[in-house]
Copies of this chain bind each other. A is one copy, B any other.
Amino acid sequence: MEHRPIPDGYRSVKDALPIALTRAREAVISHWRPVISARGFTEQQWRVLRVINEYEPIDISTLASFSALHMPSVTRILQSLEKRGYVSRERDLTDSRRSWIRVTQKTRKVMYDEGEKSRRINERIIAEFGESKFEELSRLLNELADLRIDRN
């Protein structure tokens, strides 16, 4: 593919931040996907299970926020996970709009079984990339995510 000159004042599309973020995310996830899908979960389902496992009991809005998924996605994911026996829900007694979600024993077993493998994958990525660069990247990403810019 030949590269043509870019008009002044423009940065090449390929250097756009969203594309760089997408590529980086894909590079990281690609190491986990085989493990996760071998267990019969999607990446997002796995994320939801990990968040519930860590913070249970948790309500659905908080779950969506912590796992960086939209509410409709979480609704669908929970329906699937509940049907398959990986999570349970319980209506709040004082506010019946709210549900409290928990993982089941079945999930705890899966988490325990995969824990070691996940940790190794994580450590290998960090080691290969460099721990200090990893920390620096995490810092920058969080800072960018928390940026508040007025839209005028």
Which positions in A face B, CB cutoff 8 Å? 1, 3-4, 6, 9-29, 31, 34, 43, 47, 50-51, 54-55, 58, 62, 66-68, 115, 119, 122, 124-125, 128-129, 133-134, 136-138, 140-147, 149, 151
Give Cα A27–Cα B124 distance, bound, in whole angstroms: 28
Top 8 A-B pairs, shortest CB-CB distance: A23-B145, A21-B25, A20-B141, A24-B141, A13-B50, A22-B68, A24-B144, A137-B140
Is A144 a contact partner of B119 (Cβ separation < 8 A)?
A: no
Q: List 11 A-B contacts (CB under 8 A).
A: A1-B58, A3-B55, A10-B119, A19-B67, A21-B21, A23-B142, A24-B142, A26-B68, A26-B145, A27-B146, A129-B143
Q: Which residues of B contact A55 (CB under 8 A)?
A: 1, 3-4
A147 in contact with B119 (CB, 8 Å): no
Which residue of B27, B47, B67 contacts A147 across the interface (Cβ within 8 Å)? B27
Residues of B within 8 A of A47 (CB): 13, 16, 18-19
* Assembled-state Cα–Cα distance A50/B50 (Å): 37
Cβ-defined contact, B20 with A149, below 8 A: no
- Chain B residue at minimal CB-CB distance from A150: B124
